[in-house]
Structure 1
Amino acid sequence: MCGIAGIFHPGTPKPVEPNRILAMIAAQAHRGPDGDGIWTAPGVGLGHRRLSIIDLEGSPQPMSDGSLTITYNGEVYNFAELRDALIAKGAIFRTTGDTEVLLHAWRAWGPSMLDWLNGMFAFAIHDSAAHTLFLARDRLGVKPLHYVELADGSLAFASELKGLLAHPQLRRVPDLHAVEDYLALGYVPDDACIVAGVRKLAAGHFLLVERGRPVPPPRRWWDIDFSNRATGSAKALGEELVDRMRAGVRSRMVADVPLGAFLSGGVDSSAVVALMAEASPKAVRTCTIGFDEAGHDERGFATTVARRFATDHRERVVQSGDVSLIDTLVASFDEPFADGSALATYQVCALARESVTVALSGDGADEALAGYRRYKFQSAEERIRGLLPAHLRADVFGTLGRWYPKADWAPRPLRARSTLLALARDGGEAYARSVGVTAPELRAQLFSPSARAALGGYVAEDRYVATMANAPARDAIDRAQYADIKHWLPGDILTKVDRTSMAVGLEAREPLLDHRLIEFCATLPANMRLRHGEGKWLMKKAMEPYLPREILYRQKMGFVTPISAWFREALAGEAIALAKSRTLGETGWFDMATIARIADEHRMGRAEHGRTLWQFVMLERSMRRMFS
């Protein structure tokens, strides 16, 4: 895995100062501890930090071949097959890695080269003959790419925001709309950025910039389609599902460095380890972390799987109340990021890096196969919505919901008020709220009158509503999964894994996000994804010959962080200090009295505001780091 950066002048080919490229890649040194390189020519400069995985001694970057030069972050898993196809077309190779394959693929196919690639990637190709810069990002957004148009007319890009922040011409101005997005969702989504003017190239998009022309909007080159349905028995489709999972795992086991897997003991990571063990002639290296609280500790399940497949297993117990990593996470993410499981993800990445350079994870199955509990609630609520006209639902359920007592502390099935209010709303709006953190009503109180006026009615959840309304889908589950794949997956899950793994120089690979597998899952009938409240139903049935039932059908836990308890204990002082923060106060965006009120209510146990307080802690530290 690597870090990339570059500068391109679409107008006059002004010289690019090499020291600027050096500064941009130096800021991302953690992404590539094994080497660096820069390349400049009239009007363009490219930089690279390398984490060596394949062709360890060869394939230095930026790599040039005739008129083409590339800087590339990622892995193309089918590069060997593509290499053979390109040799048949007359290509001559000097290296054995995948980087040179991309150069020859561009020469052979142009932008349509992307359709041939199976992998995770973000790269830039400069074509001096055509006077173009081509930026591309993988289908699902596993690898990041940020870019900005600067005052001198240049286009600058980098893997991480910190790479752009190293450029002296970037004006560091926070974006209020991104703050609204962050408070709503817990992360800054891929169609926004906390620094005004900076953009993220969306998953499955490319940007082709031609000298002498304005920078165009990105173009989408891939999308997921839920509108078609596969036919066949559950047995036949289950066998095909496992075959596609197996292909995804095996393609990601190719590496010239030590390789292993994260093993939580959940269905997804256990399935990956099972298929790795099937393909590996030696013991698979696995690792897990446990917590000092029994209710959050999954080590017993991980040990069961490790023993079943005779893995070389390592584990470590960490303190569930350890808040010492907060500043490390803030530095790793740049933008504010409030998914509390990032703490545990960082710790398991650090443990893995002690023995391997590449680790396979189980990420992606929940989004592809309806594994989250919220899909079950959305499906049930949509059935009820279909029984009554919208205006009647709003009157009946809205009235009941407003009068029903609030019970945020209870499990969702017992939170009748939340369910009644959700039923009063359209399906898209209700689902958008279910994936959020701080509700619009509370955000309206937290923002100052001037901030509310500046937002002008902008509401973060509207992107989810629009995405679900326009999804290529047949039913409510399709639409919810499609929206999560477009927003939640790249904005939260993949950002979390990329930043925490790269922070310790580890390459994380997601075999269950192989695009061929994802495309197949989208065609499965809804009742093979979610049946009788059981998410990932077909996957679990198909994996029964491999994994014990206590692994397949146990309640999902995930990396749970006791954030709410922290603000009554270890972080109680942080909660009080938020209301006095100069960083937050000087923006003029927040009602500091409301922040003080919710901190006091939470600390005294009168209300549950732990996740919102965590958002403000991460926001305050992130903004202090970037804008102070």
Structure 2
Amino acid sequence: MCGLVGIFDRTGRRDIDAGLLSRMNETQYHRGPDEGGIHTEPGVGLAHRRLSIIDLSSGQQPLFNEDGSVVVVYNGEIYNFPELSTRLKELGHSFRTHCDTEVIVHAWEEWGEACVERFRGMFAFALWDRNRQTLFLARDRLGIKPLYYAQLDDGHIIFASELKGLLAHPGLQRDIDPRAVEDYFAYGYVPDPKTILRQARKLAPGHILTLRHGQALPSPRQYWDVSFSSSGPGDEILAGSELLERLKEAVDIRLVAEVPLGAFLSGGVDSSAVVAMMAGLSDKPVNTCSISFGDPKFNEARYAAQVAERYHTDHQVEEVNPDDFDLIDKLAGLYDEPFADSSAMPTYRVCQLARKRVTVALSGDGGDENLAGYRRYRWHLHEERMRAFMPAAIRRPVFGLLGKLYPKADWAPKVLRAKSTFEALARDSVGGYFHSVSHLGDPLRSRLFSRQFKDQLQGYNAVDVLKQHAKHAPDHPLSFVQYLDIKTWLAGDILTKVDRASMAHSLEVRVPLLDHKLVEWMATLPPDMKLKGGEGKAVFKKALTSHLPHDILYRPKMGFSVPLASWFRGPLKERVRQAVLGPVLAETGYFNSRFLKEMVDQHQSGRRDYSVPLWSLLMFESFARQVLRC
């Protein structure tokens, strides 16, 4: 995997500061420690850090076409590059390397912007065509690889794989976007295309951006979207068989590498399925790795060991210190903007472990979103049935009142947390799902923010993110929320988390369950094949019965959990108090200081569990202290 940066003069052809470009490039050294390269010409500069995976002896970037008129810097893998290379050679193009990067320049020459529609893989790239005086930016369909950009006041447009590449440019303003703050505390991350900064943007998944000298910055154009239907196989046995065959093919094309390759193995359904497919395709034992926790409530290591033993993998497991909170400040530096998914900590550690033996690792990410694995999908369908049964004119006031009167019970199982259910039922479908996925709900954010900050929001609410995507979502209630998650949670949280944690260790992670052809096919499966009798991933699990043990397939979902509540009452007690009640958050003017103190006091006394908002504040404080003040 790699990192790219660039500077483009939108207003003309001014000389590019090569020294500044180099400094921007070096902020992403971790993404590509093997090699670095820079190209400048009047009006444009491109730079690259390379992590060598394929064609180690050549393929250095920036990479040019035959006459040097087209140049690209690229982060990712295009898995169908052999077929594309053959086709392009038939059309008269000459290749000097055996890497996938060169396919991009020739595909651009042949097909222009439509070249991205032919690429199968994960990618973010910037391509300059001197003859057309065009800069072309593109990001893969699902958002596996990141790309940030900003238009500066002096007419330059800068772009990079990570926000830190932009932050290295002195012309980037560091003013925070209040709406992004609202989004962050609602979702736990800043959804695309916003960033935490007003001036910077993310290129959204499945989008391209075409720039030309002397022209205004255009809006990005979407070239791909997932389309849900029920046009796939109607027979569950046939659908399951085809699903495994398609997964096997998606895994197979991701096994090409000239460096050591392995897989993450958590012991969950998705990673176990990927390892099972890898084992069937390899003559040698698959390298697998997992981490364990001392607390059995959070420990999946024994399930991973079952799969490793069954498939005779070369398995490595490492126990993580249950009090592994030394990473807190490091995370702010990795993500460049506030990021409140605490599983980023164990994800960082499993990537660190994997890098000791491999340079490429396959993961099981994407199965939950595409095959309905999250429990919240089941609850959403229950709520939708109630919404259909009771008119909104009755439902909203009745359940709204019950939601206010019913006591909060964070400690109880979901089925007993009626307050949350009542609050969701008082809303429409989008609002109800927003309530379900919210990191901090509307009432909590209302108490958290100061009156001054609420005025800055001018009525904006983070539910608007989902409302915008809901305009294009399918009608079926399950497909509806799957679509919303693919457009927000998947790219904004899951893939961001894995990209930064893996790149911090110069590790490439490949995600076969997010192969776009497989995603498109899974979207055609009838919803009741995915969620059946309250069981998520039903068709997938049934198809895997001959590949994986029953207790792997049907055990309760765990995930990478972190014991925040006990940390904040124990070893991190003073740190939380100092950060949340200290000068950094106070100086922003965003927060209600009285409520901040109430949260800290009540959590540390054991009266309430405020671990999630406190963690969100801790991450925001670390970001503000390290990133904004540097």
Q: TM-score, normalised by structure 2?
A: 0.98
1:277 aligned to 2:279? yes
1:52 aligned to 2:52? yes
1:382 aligned to 2:384? yes
Q: SS in structure 1 opposite 2:319?
A: strand
Correspondence for 2:312: 310
CA deviation after TM superposition for structure 1 residue 621, in Å: 0.6
Correspondence for 2:559: 558
Q: Which moved more, 1:427-436 or 1:224-233?
A: 224-233
Residue 423 of structure 1 is aligned with which of 422, 425, 430? 425
CA deviation after TM superposition for structure 1 residue 401, in Å: 2.5
Q: Aligned partners of 2:564 and 2:592: how far apart in 1?
A: 23
Q: SS in structure 1 opposite 2:588?
A: coil
Counting only pairs closer than 5 Å after superposition, residues 165-564 of structure 1 correspond to structure 2 as 165-468=167-470, 470-564=471-565
Distance 1:343 1:236, change over 3 A: same
Q: Aligned partners of 2:456 and 2:331: how far apart in 1?
A: 30
Residue 102 of structure 2 is aligned with which of 100, 103, 111? 100
Letter in 2 for 1:616: L
Q: Which moved more, 1:404-413 or 1:195-204?
A: 404-413
1:298-337 CA-to-partner distances (Å, cap 9, x unmatched) read: 1110010001000000000011221011122111111111
Q: SS in structure 2 opposite 1:261?
A: strand
CA deviation after TM superposition for structure 1 residue 399, in Å: 2.4
Unaligned runs of 5+ residues in structure 2 are: none
Instruction: State whether residues 361 and 508 of structure 1, in contact with CA within 8 Å, keep that contact through their aligned partners in structure 2.
Output: yes
Letter in 2 for 1:50: R
CA deviation after TM superposition for structure 1 residue 237, in Å: 1.0
Q: Which moved more, 1:39-48 or 1:240-249?
A: 240-249
Unaligned runs of 5+ residues in structure 1 are: none
Q: Aligned partners of 2:179 and 2:397: how far apart in 1?
A: 32
Q: Aligned partners of 1:608 and 1:440: how far apart in 2?
A: 17
Correspondence for 2:628: 627
1:397-436 CA-to-partner distances (Å, cap 9, x unmatched) read: 2222322222111121110121122112111101111111
Instruction: State whether residues 267 and 307 of structure 2, in contact with CA within 8 Å, keep that contact through their aligned partners in structure 1.
Output: yes
Correspondence for 2:139: 137
Letter in 2 for 1:303: A
Letter in 1 for 2:427: R
Q: SS in structure 2 opposite 1:359?
A: strand
Correspondence for 1:90: 92
CA deviation after TM superposition for structure 1 residue 496, in Å: 0.2
Q: Aligned partners of 1:225 and 1:552: how far apart in 2?
A: 28
Q: Which moved more, 1:439-448 or 1:204-213?
A: 439-448
CA deviation after TM superposition for structure 1 residue 126, in Å: 0.1
Correspondence for 1:602: 603
1:8 aligned to 2:47? no
Q: Aligned partners of 2:242 and 2:319: how far apart in 1?
A: 38
Letter in 2 for 1:510: V
CA RMSD of aligned residues (A): 1.0
Q: SS in structure 1 opposite 2:49?
A: strand
Counting only pairs closer than 5 Å after superposition, residues 20-39 of structure 1 correspond to structure 2 as 20-39=20-39
CA deviation after TM superposition for structure 1 residue 190, in Å: 1.3
CA deviation after TM superposition for structure 1 residue 474, in Å: 2.8
Instruction: State whether residues 229 and 526 of structure 2, in contact with CA within 8 Å, keep that contact through their aligned partners in structure 1.
Output: no
Q: Aligned partners of 1:228 and 1:306: how far apart in 2?
A: 36
CA deviation after TM superposition for structure 1 residue 579, in Å: 4.2
Instruction: State whether residues 205 and 218 of structure 1, in contact with CA within 8 Å, keep that contact through their aligned partners in structure 2.
Output: yes
Correspondence for 2:156: 154
Instruction: State whether residues 287 and 314 of structure 1, in contact with CA within 8 Å, keep that contact through their aligned partners in structure 2.
Output: yes
Q: Aligned partners of 1:159 and 1:421: how far apart in 2?
A: 39
Correspondence for 2:115: 113
Q: Which moved more, 1:266-275 or 1:518-527?
A: 518-527
Percent of paired sites with the same residue? 51
Letter in 2 for 1:144: P
CA deviation after TM superposition for structure 1 residue 581, in Å: 2.1
Instruction: State whether residues 579 and 593 of structure 1, in contact with CA within 8 Å, keep that contact through their aligned partners in structure 2.
Output: no
Letter in 2 for 1:452: K
Letter in 2 for 1:161: L
CA deviation after TM superposition for structure 1 residue 194, in Å: 1.1
1:506-525 CA-to-partner distances (Å, cap 9, x unmatched) read: 00110100001111111111
- Alignment size in residue pairs: 627
Instruction: State whether residues 148 and 156 of structure 1, in contact with CA within 8 Å, keep that contact through their aligned partners in structure 2.
Output: yes
Correspondence for 2:73: 71
Q: Aligned partners of 2:581 and 2:299: how far apart in 1?
A: 36
1:158-178 CA-to-partner distances (Å, cap 9, x unmatched) read: 000000011111111122211
CA deviation after TM superposition for structure 1 residue 467, in Å: 1.8
Correspondence for 2:62: 62
Q: Aligned partners of 2:174 and 2:459: how far apart in 1?
A: 25
Q: TM-score, normalised by structure 1?
A: 0.99
Q: Aligned partners of 1:581 and 1:177: how far apart in 2?
A: 23
CA deviation after TM superposition for structure 1 residue 228, in Å: 4.5
CA deviation after TM superposition for structure 1 residue 564, in Å: 1.4
Correspondence for 2:619: 618
4+ runs deviating over 4 angstroms: none
Q: Which moved more, 1:442-451 or 1:478-487?
A: 442-451
1:90-135 CA-to-partner distances (Å, cap 9, x unmatched) read: 1110000001011000000001111110000000000000001000
Q: SS in structure 2 opposite 1:324?
A: helix
Q: Aligned partners of 2:230 and 2:534: how far apart in 1?
A: 23
Instruction: State whether residues 136 and 209 of structure 2, in contact with CA within 8 Å, keep that contact through their aligned partners in structure 1.
Output: yes
Q: Which moved more, 1:166-175 or 1:116-125?
A: 166-175
